[in-house]
Amino acid sequence: MNCKLVVDDGKFGLRLRRQEDENIVITGEEITTKVKMLMEGEEGVKVKGVVEEFRDLVRGE
């Protein structure tokens, strides 16, 4: 399974890809583990910044 954190124009998401010939189920635990790993990387820093900016905007700061 290939997992990538996508950050674009203030939006972020998780892109999951798997081999077409595999018949597997992606569990919530697997997704949680992948997200934690990604959030610790360079893209995760960008996401945290976007989330903080959005939070400040909502609060009117």
The pLDDT value given to residue 21: 58
The pLDDT value given to residue 41: 78
The pLDDT value given to residue 47: 77
Ordered by start, the domain boundaries in the chain are 2-59
The pLDDT value given to residue 60: 84
- DSSP 8-state assignment for residue 41: S
The pLDDT value given to residue 11: 64
pLDDT digits (tens, 9 = 90+) for 5-42: 666 666 666 676 766 656 666 677 777 787 777 778 77
Cα–Cα distances in Å, from 35 out to 20, 40, 61?
22, 9, 28
pTM greater than 0.85: no
